[in-house]
């Protein structure tokens, strides 16, 4: 029975400490970037960004950087990485267009590995 009393007092002290911690941490939070709406409720103001002008890459930087490192490049600038990714994407688009022409000439819908091989040869 004494053990249960010790657990109860321990839990009571822990709850009291959590209340103190939560009340002090709420007071320390800054209100920068928050908008007060109807009473106490706060909401973050979202910064609007125009995503239509930003070009998103289909190829991630990390795998290309890893590939370059495996080939012996220890230091890689972001500009060089971006240029290589853009070049690879352009090459992929051109190859896909050529393969699509081959598929349409054969009156098919599916692009196969043979189509890609023929497109890269041409």
Task: State the pTM of this model.
Answer: 0.54
pLDDT of residue 16: 79
For residue 117, what pLDDT is reported?
A: 96
How far is it, in rounded angstroms, from Cα 13 to Cα 19? 10
Write out pLDDT tens, residues 41-78: 666 666 665 555 667 889 999 999 999 999 999 999 99
Cα–Cα distance measured from residue 60 to residue 58, given in angstroms and rounded to the nearest whole number: 7
- Tokens for 35, please give them: 């908008």
The CATH architecture one would assign to domain 61-121 is Orthogonal Bundle (1.10)
42 backbone dihedrals φ, ψ, rounded to 5°:
-115, 145
Q: What are 22's two structure tokens?
A: 């939560």
Domain extents in the chain: 61-121
Task: Output the pLDDT for position 77.
Answer: 95
């Amino acid at each position: 029975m004494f053990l249960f009393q010790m657990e109860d007092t321990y839990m009571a002290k822990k709850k009291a400490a959590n209340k103190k911690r939560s009340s002090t941490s709420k007071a320390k939070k800054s209100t920068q970037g928050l908008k007060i709406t109807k009473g106490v409720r706060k909401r973050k103001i979202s910064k609007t960004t125009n995503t239509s002008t930003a070009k998103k890459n289909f190829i991630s930087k990390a795998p290309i950087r890893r590939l370059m490192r495996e080939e012996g490049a220890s230091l890689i600038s972001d500009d060089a990485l971006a240029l290589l990714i853009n070049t690879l994407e352009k090459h992929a688009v051109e190859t896909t267009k050529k393969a699509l022409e081959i598929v349409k000439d054969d009156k098919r819908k599916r692009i196969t590995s043979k189509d890609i091989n023929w497109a890269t040869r041409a």
